[in-house]
Structure 1
Amino acid sequence: MNYRHAYHAGNFADVFKHIVLTRAVEYLKRKGKPFRVIDTHAGTGFYDLSSDEAQKTGEWRDGIGKLVEAMVPTEALSLIAPYLDIVARFNPGGGVRFYPGSPTIARELLRGQDRL
């Protein structure tokens, strides 16, 4: 099987996985002790959703594309805000052209004493 994540980056499953990753890292940070994130199946750390690969499938439109435009209830927004903040950092002009992968999301969340 030939799998290239650039065709699927930002799809609904990717968004779900990255929200769970964000929540898990935020939970681990509640303790003062350092920790290490090991992702054995991470793709690259960054995706351009205007690339030929991402445009060919357009899967990101039903994932992160919908989420950034959605009216998210306040209760849910508080749970996913750290994730959305990271996505927004890579898209300072608004919208979503650039999408961070798992390694980038983890790196953005880690403290100085934590490791990736």
Structure 2
Amino acid sequence: MNYRHSFHAGNFADLVKHALVLWLLKERQARTGALGPVAVLDTHAGAGLYDLSGDAVRSREAEAGVARLMT
């Protein structure tokens, strides 16, 4: 399988994943009574910053994902 995230960055699945991670972290903080910042180590983070005017334009997946939130 040949997968390059730069073609899929910002798509709907990315938004769902990030929303779920944020929700899980907030729930954990609420249940444990933790205050302050939380450190997270993402072992599959990739580049961390993607140019949505590059490879992502070819797949157009970001148009149905993050671009809808930014408009």
TM-score by length of 2: 0.75
* In 2, Cα distance between equivalents of 1:10 and 1:47: 8
53-62 vs 16-25, greater mean Cα deviation: 16-25
Tell me how far apart the structure 1 counterparts of residues 36 and 22 of structure 2 sit (CA, whole Å): 18
CA contact 1:7–1:57 (8 Å) conserved in 2 = yes
Give the CA deviation at 1:48: 1.1
| Runs of 4+ with >6 A deviation | none
AA in 2 matched with 1:14: D
Superposition deviation, residue 65 in structure 1 = 1.1
Aligned partner of 1:47 among 45, 50, 60 = 50
Could you say which structure has the greater relative contact order, defined with CA pairs below 8 angstroms and 6 or more residues apart?
2
Task: Tell me if structure 2 keeps the 8 A contact 1:7–1:54.
Answer: yes
Equivalent residue for 2:66?
64
Q: Which runs of 5+ in 1 are unaligned?
A: 70-116
Show the counterpart of 1:27: 27
Identity of aligned residues (%): 44
1:12 partner amino acid: F
CA shift in 2, pair 1:67/1:34, >3 Å? closer
Structure with more strand by fraction: 1
Pairwise mapping of residues 1-116 of structure 1 onto structure 2 (< 5 A)?
1-30=1-30, 31-32=34-35, 36-51=39-54, 53-69=55-71
What amino acid is the match of 2:46?
G
